[in-house]
């Protein structure tokens, strides 16, 4: 692939991404979104975050198999419980990391 073709592809992908994002911003104020769809769209950020974080927790280091001795799973469960109870991001991060480091220290 030549340099010009590569730069053309980068430009096309960039413009396509920009147009897709701009369409949601521009059309959101003009179109009437049904209440059911509006309610469903509120959960998109949380589901995307879960889809990004969960594989990193369950399969650390890109492993292909589930490992029962993985200390990230109990640390993530405790951190999720703290987040649910307190709604504090800083406390969730602190407790989750403390539990993870504690479990790694105990495991040796």
Q: For position 94, what pLDDT does the model report?
A: 97
3-class secondary structure, 29? coil
User: What does the block give as tokens for 86?
Assistant: 């307190």
In this prediction, the residues of the chain whose per-residue pLDDT falls under 50 are none
Max Cα-Cα span within the chain:
59
Q: For position 61, what pLDDT does the model report?
A: 75
Q: What is the pTM of this model?
A: 0.61
Q: What count of Cα atoms within 13 Å lies in the side-chain half-sphere of residue 97?
A: 6
Q: For position 51, what pLDDT does the model report?
A: 93
Q: 75 near 58, Cβ under 8 Å?
A: no
């Amino acid at each position: 692939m030549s340099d010009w073709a590569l730069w053309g592809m980068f430009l096309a992908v960039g413009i396509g991404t920009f147009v897709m994002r701009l369409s949601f911003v521009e059309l959101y104020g003009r179109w009437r979104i049904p209440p059911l769809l509006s309610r469903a769209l509120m959960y998109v950020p949380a589901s995307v975050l879960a889809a990004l974080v969960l594989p990193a927790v369950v399969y650390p280091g890109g492993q292909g198999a589930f490992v029962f001795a993985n200390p990230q799973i109990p640390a993530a469960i405790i951190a999720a419980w703290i987040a649910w109870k307190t709604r504090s991001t800083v406390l969730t991060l602190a407790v989750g990391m403390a539990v993870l480091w504690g479990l790694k220290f105990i495991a040796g």
